[in-house]
């Protein structure tokens, strides 16, 4: 699948912007006056974060925000990154931008979480950190005067009612934070138009009989299998693809499931998410489970292995993921 970016040519004409203020820390009146539209306050996982100027030294601890920053023309403000950035997510232009950003580490644990020390991140002197880890959260960074934002869909509470409109909303939020509100409005409108076009195609092809599906995150090499419920982007993605989530009655984002429960719910289709690595190993992690052959999706090989950000959290990549699901299971 080739991701279809929403790149805006106008982004190339952006003027340089003033240095960003840190987290909730106060900055000088002079800096605020030099940044029209600031201060800007946004909420991240229940914590208010105030910016007195657009950020200029950003560290990525996850790749979730890359597609947003690229569309807004501000990816060049990222000074370092950590985690996995699979090339399948990006067009050539975005990949070239990422290649120019130093990679601190790509070490992940079995759940796909980046392993990095606080000292390594602080050495980059960031004014904004995007993404949380077990050792680097809002409380730690705020005490150091460093702002941090996490994708709403990855917060512990998740999203109460996630949908594709969250992508447009997040685009405008990032545009406000980075001081490019006009580009944010254009990019948000492009997101809405693109989703509407896919929905029309689905409506035209639907025969009114929704097949059932489950979106899972298996542990390769043995371990727990996780499923996605109504507080995840998997729910609206399946709905838009004309599929019914067999865990659509579970008011959680992510939870552990047994093979017995999968057999009992018996989805017609399986979508398996992973952070990086060999898709065949991800598929085998489910199909090799004792009793998995009784699941209709396994018996009929109706399985799609997809990189994590093509579903979660809501981002332009979720639209690419929807297109893949429609292409694989739409007929």
DSSP-assigned letters across all residues of 285-315: HHHTSTTGGGSHHHHTT-EEEEEGGGTSSSS
- Residue 330 confidence (pLDDT): 76
- Give the separation between CA 43 and CA 141, rounded to whole angstroms: 15
**Mean pLDDT in residue range 58-82:** 96
What pTM was estimated for this model as a whole? 0.83
- Give the separation between CA 210 and CA 187, rounded to whole angstroms: 32
Q: How many CB atoms sit inside 10 A of residue 317's CB?
A: 26
pLDDT at residue 244 is higher than 60: yes
Query: Based on the number of CB atoms within 10 Å of its own CB, is 202 exposed (0-12), middle (13-18) or buried (19 or more)?
Result: middle
pLDDT at residue 65 is higher than 70: yes
CA 202 vs CA 70, 162, 163, 248: distances in Å: 28, 20, 17, 20
Lowest mean pLDDT among 2-6, 98-102, 117-121: 2-6
pLDDT at residue 83 is higher than 70: yes
CB under 8 Å to 172, separation ≥6 — which residues? Answer: 181, 184, 185, 188
- Residue 34 confidence (pLDDT): 56
DSSP-assigned letters across all residues of 18-43: PPPPPTT----HHHHHTSTT--EEEE
CA 322 from centroid of its chain's CA atoms: 13
Q: Which two tokens stand for residue 172?
A: 């405008």
- Residue 160 confidence (pLDDT): 87
pLDDT at residue 17 is higher than 50: no
Length of the chain, please? 331
pLDDT averaged over the chain?
A: 87
Task: Give the torsion through C-alpha atoms of 106, 237, 232, 176, to 10 deg.
Answer: 70
Residue among 28, 42, 59, 32 nearest 125 (CA): 59
Using an 8 Å Cβ cutoff, are 272 and 288 in contact?
no
3-state secondary structure of 260: helix
- Residue 110 confidence (pLDDT): 67
CA 38 from centroid of its chain's CA atoms: 26
- Residue 210 confidence (pLDDT): 81
- Residue 197 confidence (pLDDT): 87
- Give the separation between CA 11 and CA 95, rounded to whole angstroms: 17
């Amino acid at each position: 699948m080739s991701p279809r970016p929403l790149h805006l040519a106008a982004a190339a004409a952006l003027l340089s912007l003033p240095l960003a203020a840190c987290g909730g820390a106060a900055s000088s009146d002079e800096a605020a006056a030099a940044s029209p539209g600031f201060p800007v306050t946004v909420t991240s996982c229940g914590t208010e974060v105030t910016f007195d100027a657009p950020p200029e030294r950003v560290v990525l601890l996850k790749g979730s925000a890359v597609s947003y920053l690229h569309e807004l023309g501000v990816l060049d403000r990222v000074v370092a990154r950590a985690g996995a950035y699979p090339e399948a997510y990006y067009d050539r232009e975005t990949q070239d931008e990422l290649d120019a950003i130093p990679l601190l580490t790509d070490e992940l644990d079995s759940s796909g979480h980046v392993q990095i020390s606080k000292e390594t991140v602080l050495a980059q002197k960031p004014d904004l950190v995007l993404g949380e880890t077990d050792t680097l959260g809002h409380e730690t960074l705020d005490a150091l005067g460093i702002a941090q934002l996490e994708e709403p869909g990855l917060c512990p509470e998740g999203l109460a009612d996630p949908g594709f409109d969250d992508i447009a909303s997040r685009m405008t939020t990032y545009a406000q934070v980075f001081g490019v509100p006009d580009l944010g409005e254009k990019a948000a409108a492009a997101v809405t138009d693109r989703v509407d076009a896919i929905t029309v195609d689905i409506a035209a092809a639907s025969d009114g009989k929704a097949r059932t599906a489950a979106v899972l995150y298996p542990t390769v090499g043995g371990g727990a299998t996780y499923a996605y419920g109504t507080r995840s982007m998997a729910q609206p993605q399946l709905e838009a693809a004309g599929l019914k989530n067999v865990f659509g009655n579970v008011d959680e984002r992510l939870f552990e499931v047994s093979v017995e429960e999968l057999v009992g719910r018996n989805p017609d289709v399986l979508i398996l998410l992973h952070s990086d690595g060999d898709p065949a190993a991800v598929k085998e992690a489910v199909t090799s489970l004792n009793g998995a052959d009784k699941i209709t999706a396994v018996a009929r090989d109706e399985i799609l292995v997809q990189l994590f950000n093509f579903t979660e959290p809501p981002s332009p990549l979720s639209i690419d993921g929807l297109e893949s699901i429609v292409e694989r299971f739409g007929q």
